[in-house]
Amino acid sequence: MRITAEHLNFTYNPSSPFASKALKDVSLTIEEGEFFGIIGHTGSGKSTFVQHLNGLLRVPTSLKKYKAKKPKKGEILPPKTVLTVGEFDLTDKKTDFRALRKHVGMVFQYPEYQLFAETVEADVAFGLKNFSEKKLSDDEVKDAVKQALEIVGLDYEAMKDASPFDLSGGQKRRVAIAGVIVTRPEVLVLDEPAAGLDPLGKKEIMQLLHKLHKEWCQTVVIVSHDMDEISENCTKAAVFSEGEVKFVMPPSELFRHADELFSLGLDIPRTAKICRALEQRGVTLECDFTTEDLIRKALALKG
Amino acid sequence: MKAIEFRAVDFSYDNGGFAIKKLNFSVEEGEFVAVLGHNGSGKSTLARLCNGLLEADGGEIEIFSMPVSEKKNLYEIRKNVGIVFQNPDNQTVASIVEDDIAFGAENIGLSREEIGERISFALKAVGMEEFRHSTCTRLSGGQKQRIAIAGVLAIRPKIMILDESTAMLDPRGRKEVMDVVTRLNKEEGITVLLITHFMEEALRADRAVVMNRGEIVMQGTPQSIFARHEELETYNLSLPRIGYICNRLRDGGIPVHDTLDEEQLAEEIAQCVLRQSI
Amino acid sequence: MLKDVSFGQYYPVDSFVHRMDPRLKLVFLIAYIVAIFLAKNFYGLGACLLVLVLAVAFSRVPVRKVLRSMKGILFLVVFTAVINLFFYRGEEILFSWKFITISKEGIIFSIFLVLRLFLLVMCSSLLTYTTTPVALTDGLESLLTPLKWIKFPVHELALIMSIALRFIPILMDETERIMNAQKARGANFESGGLIKRAKAIIPVLIPLLLSAFRRAEELGDAMDARCYMGSKNRTKYKKLKFGWRDLIGFLLVAALITGVVLLRVYLGATI
């Protein structure tokens, strides 16, 4: 599923003293198959943007109570907002937003805090049962849950009857992710999937996402402010700042714009810092800013 | 003088398993010590034992030679040991910044004028003077943690423990907090015990301690610890990415030293490459 | 982003009324309500209205906003007005049909009642528009201090209230986040019957409760670590101070009460 946004605007609490414009004329395309990174500070609009992707936040024209205003004579209309995810037109009132959510899985920050059921199996099955039109048989549920737990690296038999609250932090997060991917969404969006984990936990979660990207969900979108994470993992990235999209490009190009990123208060990955420092010393190292490529190219320079 | 001293301390949680095992550990006054370890290595238990939030099952813990196990010392110990916790939202008591910073100072019974001065001092120390009358919920994560530090500073503790205080922050917030902590250690002479799993943060310390399964398994300067990368990995701690790069380059024949500074690494690579091309 | 909306209806501007001492504002509110009930004729109510208009003008809260607080009780006002209109037993009967009689006195009484209710709601909502919940708690704690003599835990109560106030926006935010997370997993909070909706709340309620407990525990530790030992030996940083604004407020309210009483004595009671 391809995601396209054009001229997307969003304001929190409009017509109140607390009104704040969170998105300003955002245009962005995420192609199917991408491992896409969204970068930005807290309050840059990145979370607002991703919450549009499964209809948790809505374009005003898609709301039931929306009434089109007749334009005044001579008034210049703002450019039309476009927001589509695959076949779904998110600006349309007639769109079935629940059906959309089945196709766009969303893993929030610290997803382990959304666990609620008595057993791991029941928790993972929650979304599955919600989304299915017909009543699923026990075997169907069991099958789906088993596969979801296994792909996130948990043993179904050992886990299914355990209380999700008795698990370790890392396991809880995996169960929460299983609870989202169990419906086999084509797009998986994760907000800071590695937040709060120790280095090993981080590494494992990123490995898991690559596995999911390969075997389970065509498109993976991660929101992150860890530049190393972006440069190591993403095929393409967008930079949000103050509600606007500043860059959309592969990390290998993005992190050459170091000065612009610094001026936005953002950092660049370690690898890009090394390349930059080398450049200042008259050594050009053309790499895509992944660790492995940097090492390879550096060794090649030596010959 | 020893600020913190643990002698053969044991501690286990009710659900079994040792969180801390026969731990011997001490921190000198004015020292900056980083405690590293993966989640569940027992490093957070350490913080809570220091000021009596948890009670040791065995052994002796002393803060400036005062045993924590004696109830009558508790108040004095808590005045001397400030802890900044992980979640920025769960340690502020009041809605307005200055009211929150006042909380600790009010608890130790200072006069109004003194509290006012301490608030000014604490806010200045964390560089947030202009937020004195702000609402806490409107601050960023890094700012909230700096307010939490200020709240602790208002009691004027001699020791400050940061219990994974940067774990929930973004890189910018993390840097804000670490800058403040480093300055407090260098300029105010406050003893700092930094509990973290971010290797980069440990670099700022005088000494790093690695914990695994409730025991101290490595100790030394941060640089010397990072040099033992293979050992680190067995404790589920991975080297900062740059450390890994150094190792691989060396294996490939570029003679670089262990460093965690990009500039220095680039300098060494450049020297090697440029020398060759002449 | 619920947290961006201040809890309650505090209207964040800086004004004469905002800067008044919360304790006195509470006292003034009570005095003002007394004045409303002392007024027995339209002149008295007129005087009350004048004071209200002054207060609103000096509060810099938009009139539209203050008026909006009537919306909630509009039904109650209309209901009492209608009941009184139809059933008040006056002497000068204007209209009579079956058990309904409308008298001149009935009309006057109904208008009086509506005006009274209007003033009551306006002045209390003005207080909440101009005073933060925290300031209100502080004011209340200070006003309740005499109760300490009978060992009533005024300080603890005030601390509990202020902590609750501080965590409300955080928990509201958290509720929204959990609801969003469950919605993303297909939960449906908008449709279905009562039982279905009640059931849909469980996946929100459990994580919310767990989080509230976790937060409470962590906050408890943080308070302990910051030397909290109860109210013993504890000092208070913020002493509420009376200022010139409070004096003006005091004079105004005193004048109002005197005025209302005088108007009643000299011009007689309408009701």
**B2-236 CATH, one of 1.10.645.10, 3.40.50.300, 3.30.70.3450, 3.40.50.920:** 3.40.50.300
Residues of B in contact with A229 (CB under 8 A): none
Residue C5 binned pLDDT confidence (cut-offs 50, 70, 90)? very low
Span B64-122, pLDDT tens digits: 999 999 988 999 999 999 999 999 899 988 888 998 999 999 999 999 999 999 999 99
Give me the residue spans of the domains in chain A: 3-268, 269-303
Residue of A116, A175, A189 to mutate, interface with C, max C Cβ within 10 Å = A116
Delimiting residues of CATH 3.40.50.300 domain(s) in chain B: 2-236
CA A192 and chain centroid, separation? 8
Q: How large is the average pLDDT for residues A95-114? A: 92
Chosen CATH of A3-268 out of 3.20.20.120, 1.10.1660.10, 3.50.50.60, 3.40.50.300:
3.40.50.300
Beta-carbon separation of B75 and C229 below 8 A: yes
**Residue C151 CA: distances (Å) to CA of B137, B259, C157:** 34, 64, 12
The confidence score (pLDDT) of residue B173 equals 87
Residues of C in contact with A177 (CB under 8 A): none
- Res. A187: pLDDT tops 50: yes
- ipTM of the prediction: 0.88
Within 8 A of B273 by CB-CB distance, chain A residues are 283, 301-302
Classify the C-alpha dihedral A34-A35-A38-A39 as positive or negative.
Answer: negative
Whole-number mean pLDDT of chain A? 90
Give percent helix, percent strand, percent coil of chain C, each to the nearest 5: 70, 5, 25
Q: How confident is the model at residue A16 (pLDDT cuts 50, 70, 90)?
A: low
Over range B128-138, report the average pLDDT.
88
Query: Which DSSP state fits C3?
Result: G
Q: DSSP strand E in chain A: where?
A: 3-12, 20-30, 35-39, 82-85, 88-89, 104-107, 187-191, 219-224, 236-241, 244-249
Instruction: Give percent of chain A above pLDDT 70.
Output: 98
Average pLDDT over residues B5-32: 88
Q: Which of A118-122, B130-134, B146-150 has the lowest mean pLDDT?
A: B130-134
Q: Which residue has the higher pLDDT, C133 or A153?
A: A153
Q: Which chains touch B (3 or more CB pairs under 8 A)?
A: A, C
Between A260 and C157, the higher pLDDT residue: A260
Least confident among A193-202, B204-213, C25-34? A193-202
Taking the Cβ of residue B268 and every Cβ of chain A, the question of whether any pair is shorter than 8 Å is answered with no
Q: What is the pLDDT of residue B118?
A: 94
Mean pLDDT of chain B: 89
Q: What is the pLDDT of residue C164?
A: 85
Nearest chain A Cα distance for residue C206, angstroms: 6
Q: How far is CA B171 from the centre of its chain?
A: 16
Indicate yes or no: CB of C226 within 8 angstroms of CB of B136.
no
Q: What is the mean predicted confidence (pLDDT) over A206-232?
A: 93
Rounded Cα gap, residues C251 and C241, in angstroms: 17
Amino acid B277: pLDDT:
66
Task: Answer for the pair B32, B68: CB distance below 8 angstroms, yes or no.
Answer: no
Of all residues in chain C, the one with the smallest CA distance to A123 is: C203
| C203 part of contact set with chain B, CB < 8 Å | no
Chain B hits for C163, Cβ within 8 Å: 93
Partner residue opposite B276 with nearest CB, options A195, A265, A303 = A303
pLDDT reported for residue A240: 95
Pairs of residues, one from chain B and one from chain C, whose beta carbons lie less than 8 Å apart: 101
Q: CB–CB of C184 and A56 under 8 A? A: yes
The residue behind tokens 């290797």 is B199
Residue range A30-39: mean pLDDT, rounded: 95
Average pLDDT over residues A176-187: 95
The reported pLDDT for the residue numbered B17 is: 64
The pLDDT of residue A18:
66
Structure pTM? 0.82
Question: Is B95–C224 a contact, with Cβ atoms under 8 angstroms apart?
Answer: no
CA distance linking residue A145 with residue C260, whole number of Å: 74
DSSP labels, A124-172: HHHHHHHH-SSPPPHHHHHHHHHHHHHHTT--HHHHTTS-GGGS-HHHH
